[in-house]
Structure 1
């Protein structure tokens, strides 16, 4: 009877894409370099995080800081604050910024007042301050 060499189970620590903020799904092809994976796709790797993306993150945090602790904002509030008349082009980058802030534990994303998974949320979302002891 042949003995098979036991292969160590890869570490499948949950990761978040550095660009879009969505959860990265583990793939067998990444098993040998899972620790180095930062992006969920080639598109996110090419897009990376720009200075506008960082500005959107700061704007989201600033807008939340100017409101009551339980208040929320729409991603369009941050897009309008930065983009002026061209704010619509910043809507998806604002949503990505919000997802990255969820991953860092700074904010929470809700729909109709209920927490949602930022990786799968579709439609209108609200961004609020993270609450202690609350998992997104």
Structure 2
């Protein structure tokens, strides 16, 4: 029996170092694809700050305190790091969660199902990565 080739072209992807979203190869990046780290000028200027690293560490610490299947929200991490000014850290917490998905430390879930963090909308629930996911 012969194998059929996948008719879809294989598109090379990377994960943005700042926002954690998946980015696909673009013709304009063809000469520098190996050096591309950020998906946009906004992410390139934002980079990853010590606060972003604190959010990542807080997400992992909060999850370590819970049973394996339990979740936290991005606002839990934002509150833990930002105190009264936590609302300003909500989007940075979402970016931190996406970066943790990229390194296979956590999963983003909606209604109990793992979702692609690049396309997740609404409140994000985060859980520790399980062996089967």
TM-score, normalized by length of structure 1? 0.88
Q: Secondary structure at the match of 1:21?
A: coil
What's 1:72 paired with? Answer: 71
Residue 55 of structure 2 is matched in structure 1 by: 56
**Aligned residue in 2 for 1:86:** 85
Residue matched to 2:129: 130
Residue 29 of structure 1 corresponds to which residue in structure 2?
28
Unpaired segments ≥5 residues, structure 2? 1-9
Moved over 3 A (4+): none
| Structure showing greater Rg | 1
Q: Deviations over 1:16-61 (max 9, x none)?
A: 0000000012110101111110000000000000000000000000
- CA apart distance, 1:115: 1.1
Structure 1 gap ranges (5+): 1-10
Q: Distance in 2 between matches of 1:29 and 1:58?
A: 35
Per-residue CA deviations over 1:43-95 (Å, capped at 9, x if unaligned) read: 00000000000000000000000111111000000000011111000000000
Partner secondary structure for residue 108 of structure 1? strand
Equivalent-residue separation in structure 2 for 1:107 and 1:75 (angstroms)? 12
Q: What is the Cα-based RMSD across aligned positions, in Å?
A: 1.2
TM-score (norm 2): 0.90
State the aligned residue count: 124
